[in-house]
Amino acid sequence: MRQQTEPSRVGGSGVSRREFLRKGTGTVAVSALAGVAIPRVHAAEDSTIRLALVGAGNRGSGAVRDALSVPDSGPVKLYAMADLFEHRLSASHKKLTDIFGDRVDVPPERQFIGFDAYKHAMECLRPGDIAMITGYAACRLGHGEYAMGRGLHVFMGKPWACEPPGVRRIIRAGEEAKMKNLKIAAGLMCRHSVARDALVGKIRAGELGEIQLIRVYRMGPVGLLGDKQPGESELRYQIRNYFRFFWPGGGLFHGMTIHQIDELCWIKGQLPVMAHGIGGRAPKSPDRSQNFDSYSIEYTFGDGTKGTVGVRYVLGTHGEFATYVHGTRRAAQFSGNVHASTARVFKDHRISKENVLWEAEPEKFSLYQTQWNDLIAAIRDDKPFNQAENAALSNLATIMGRAAVHSGQVITWDQAMTSSFQWCPGVDMMTDETQPPVLPEEDGYYPSPFPGRWTEI
């Protein structure tokens, strides 16, 4: 039967990267890497790469599907699973077994439930195998550190951290992993886009002229916070709905828009030096979560150019999901609906299909598949592959924009990078007896930001 565990110069700011790390707070639990030797591949008699899935929801199950679908990759199998919720693990195991048969080699004794389940699942692996970290965001970093300490390569879904101290932990963990040749994939799949990479080449070659403005949009309806299930604790309810609360998931804006903010930084080739913005909720909104339903942010880069981010989740309003780039000569589209690789250069600044000057060839694989193709190839061929620092810095840029909207203040990179703010100190030690850091108010709504009074940096 399943085992139930016991509850158990950066950003152009003028501050050097070394000083950024020195100023950081918190500790990193990957020093155990010092004594771990990571094999290039497993012994010749068994070249199978084993996977441990930690977080068996839809995203985790999808990542397993992609990992097991890498073409010409050599043997790969799912070997252990862990989740906080038994019903999710059961559903994922059945779905994956139906698709992949005996490549899902996870008998009941390698299925683990509970807050410490991740440890037991990873302990089923050998150094050089892969830990897939796809549980709720606040726990991912602690799980990743444990995996790296055991000599495991890591695929970690985004985002990795919900507040600045976690970002600093990511960078330190990535540096230690690099010393031991561990491969770290960040879950920012758009970085693996051949089409986007081709457009970046054209941007760097000056085909758009000097970049003046980057515009990002993610506008579309999103469902409301649902009700508790019978007998469900407040803690598990919040974790199950982790994008609806700031402490376990950073909020919906943070968890979703990190992709577009990563694109913004990639296009510019810089990190922003400051952000300010506005946002709020529709009057009498029925959503009881902590999230705003509208965010508008202006990022400023070191040379004074701007990147704007527009996000809205309100039903019945204009929808758009795209990233645009404007230079002194012409404009381009960098991405399209639901991360589509819509990479185009226009003849001037008119964004229309009739005005296209150049368009990238279609991707051979989905971006989710390509990131796994690249990771498995890096492991098999022993190529450098460590996305931790890039993911951490894009994570911090997202946190900075979120904080600017929620607080109503201008937030600088320096403020964000040195902040000691935490939503839930000690989250790595959480058990079923832990009281969640936020509770519903008398009307059933959870505390939401009040610009001018709210602080999260």
Q: Residue 69 belongs to a domain with what CATH number?
A: 3.40.50.720
119: phi then psi, degrees, rounded to nearest 5: -65, -45
The model's confidence at residue 30, banded by pLDDT at 50, 70 and 90, is: very low
> Has residue 251 been placed in a domain?
yes
- CA angle, residues 342, 345, 351, in degrees to nearest 5: 80
Token pair 């070394």 is at which residue?
18
Mean pLDDT check: name the lowest of 13-22, 149-158, 433-442.
Answer: 13-22
Q: Looking at the structure, tell me whether residues 357 and 229 fall in a common domain.
A: yes
Q: How much is the pLDDT for 9?
A: 34
- Average pLDDT (5-25) is 39
The model's confidence at residue 134, banded by pLDDT at 50, 70 and 90, is: very high
Question: How many angstroms separate the CA atoms of 394 and 244, rounded?
Answer: 21
Structure tokens at 189: 């799949």
Question: How many angstroms separate the CA atoms of 293 and 219, rounded?
Answer: 10
Question: How many angstroms separate the CA atoms of 298 and 164, rounded?
Answer: 20
Q: Looking at the structure, tell me whether residues 207 and 256 fall in a common domain.
A: yes
Q: Looking at the structure, tell me whether residues 149 and 48 fall in a common domain.
A: yes
pLDDT at 429 over 80: yes
Q: Looking at the structure, tell me whether residues 293 and 273 fall in a common domain.
A: yes
pLDDT at 410 over 50: yes
Assign residue 335 the CATH number of its domain. 3.30.360.10
Q: Looking at the structure, tell me whether residues 238 and 300 fall in a common domain.
A: yes
pLDDT at 45 over 60: no
Q: How much is the pLDDT for 28?
A: 37
Q: Looking at the structure, tell me whether residues 206 and 129 fall in a common domain.
A: no
Q: How much is the pLDDT for 39?
A: 53
Q: How much is the pLDDT for 54?
A: 98
Q: Looking at the structure, tell me whether residues 318 and 344 fall in a common domain.
A: yes
> Which parts of 66-196 are beta strand (E)?
76-83, 111-113, 130-133, 153-156, 184-185
The model's confidence at residue 19, banded by pLDDT at 50, 70 and 90, is: very low
Structure tokens at 67: 């990992």
> Has residue 450 been placed in a domain?
no
pLDDT at 220 over 70: yes
Nearest to 335 by CA among 344, 327, 326: 344
* pLDDT 10s digits, 382-404: 999 999 999 999 999 999 999 99
pLDDT at 313 over 70: yes
Q: How much is the pLDDT for 73?
A: 84
pLDDT at 359 over 80: yes
Question: How many angstroms separate the CA atoms of 115 and 379, rounded?
Answer: 29
Q: Which domain holds residue 98?
A: 3-190+370-385
pLDDT at 43 over 80: no
- Average pLDDT (150-177) is 96
359: phi then psi, degrees, rounded to nearest 5: -140, 140
> Has residue 275 been placed in a domain?
yes
Separation in Å, CA 382 to CA 38, 144, 273, 279: 11, 20, 36, 46
- Average pLDDT (82-109) is 98
Q: How much is the pLDDT for 46?
A: 79
Percent of the chain exceeding pLDDT 90 equals 89
Q: Name the more confident of 3 and 282.
A: 282
Q: How much is the pLDDT for 20?
A: 36
Q: Looking at the structure, tell me whether residues 174 and 279 fall in a common domain.
A: no
pLDDT at 145 over 70: yes
pTM given for the model: 0.90
Q: Name the more confident of 1 and 181.
A: 181
- Average pLDDT (302-327) is 97
* pLDDT 10s digits, 432-456: 999 999 999 999 999 999 999 999 9
- Average pLDDT (32-39) is 48
> Has residue 435 been placed in a domain?
no
Q: How much is the pLDDT for 41?
A: 52
Nearest to 188 by CA among 249, 290, 266, 110: 266
pLDDT at 6 over 60: no
Q: Looking at the structure, tell me whether residues 269 and 333 fall in a common domain.
A: yes
Name 132's Cβ contacts closer than 8 Å, sequence gap at least 6.
51, 52, 53, 54, 55, 60, 63, 64, 67, 155
